[in-house]
Amino acid sequence: MFEAFLIAAALAAAPAPAGAQGAAKPAAAAEPAPKPVASADLKDASGASVGTATIFEGPGGLLMRIEASGIPSGWHGVHFHEKGVCTGPDFASAGAHIKAGDHLHGLLNPKGHEAGDLPNLFADGGGRVEMAVWSNSVSIKGAEGRPALLDADGSAVVIHANPDDQHNQPTGNSGGRIVCGVLKAAG
Ligand SMILES: [Cu+2]
């Protein structure tokens, strides 16, 4: 038994025969951990920081993580807005949703959707938000013709008072803007 084990171990350690090199390749080295390409300090109407949005870029789209607290419990619309300016208390300075072509607002609108549209986020009973969402409608710097978040006038992540119904114009009845964060390139 012991001998058999030694033989097996020797076979395992032997170099693979030339013809089997493809199959015997060592596993690919682990990919480096993805690094954020942009982030935003999320602020409420009084200018207080309530959380962060962090964006990673992958093939064909962006992954955004939002972590926030102190948000009224329930569903809220959240979008990429066209200007990187968050002047409280109404955050009108962030402009409209990022848009490409003549699409209408709403992920569920047959004539939609705007590039800045996103699914709603949810704040739990304690006002805590944890969200991860993928968008294949925008890019960081204009990849594949998708509108760039970090274009000349920047962009902002805006959370609204109410949920976005994903079809009415212009914001899916998502109401006022309660949180805004200017997206900045990750250092
Ligand atoms: Cu919005």
Q: How far is the CA of 134 from the centre of ligand 1 (A)?
A: 17
Q: How far is the CA of 159 from the centre of ligand 1 (A)?
A: 6
Distance CA 187, CA 185 (A): 6
Residue 40 binned pLDDT confidence (cut-offs 50, 70, 90): very high
Distance CA 38, CA 112 (A): 26
Left, alpha or beta for 58 (phi > 0: left; psi -120 to 50: alpha)?
beta
Q: Tokens 């329930």 — which residue? A: 74
Q: How far is the CA of 20 from the centre of ligand 1 (A)?
A: 56
Q: Is the pTM of this model over 0.75?
A: yes
Q: Beta-carbon neighbour count of residue 65 at 10 Å? A: 15
Please report the pLDDT score of residue 72 as a whole number: 98
Distance CA 138, CA 63 (A): 10
Please report the pLDDT score of residue 28 as a whole number: 80
Q: How far is the CA of 103 from the centre of ligand 1 (A)?
A: 15
Q: What is the mean pLDDT of the chain?
A: 90
Chain segment 131-145, per-residue pLDDT in tens: 999 999 999 999 999
Chain segment 71-98, per-residue pLDDT in tens: 999 999 999 999 999 999 999 999 999 9
**Nearest-10 Cα torsion for 134, 136, 140, 144:** 160
Q: How far is the CA of 78 from the centre of ligand 1 (A)?
A: 6
Q: DSSP assignment, residue 112?
A: B
Contacts for 39 with CB less than 8 Å, ≥ 6 apart: 52, 53, 54, 55, 183, 184, 186
Q: How far is the CA of 144 from the centre of ligand 1 (A)?
A: 24
CATH number of 38-185: 2.60.40.200
